[in-house]
A and B are shown apart, each in its own frame.
Chain A
Amino acid sequence: MRPEEPILRIRGLRKAFGGIRAVDGVDIDVAAKTITGLIGPNGAGKTTLFNMVCGLYAPDDGEIWLGDHRIDGLPPHLIVQEGIVKTWQIPREFRNLPVLDNVILAARAHPGEQLVNLLIRPMSSRRTERRLERAALDILQIVGLAELAEEPAKSLSGGQKKLLELARALMTDPQLILLDEPMAGVNPVLATRLMALIQSLRDAGHTFFLIEHDMEVVMSRCDRIIVMHEGRKIAEGLPAEVRRDPAVLESYLGG
Chain B
Amino acid sequence: MKSERTYEAWKQKHRQIEVRDEFVDTVMNQICQCEQKKRKSVPDMRWLAELVSEHWLVRAGVIAAGAAVGLARAAFVICAFLRA
Q: Do A and B come from one complex?
A: no
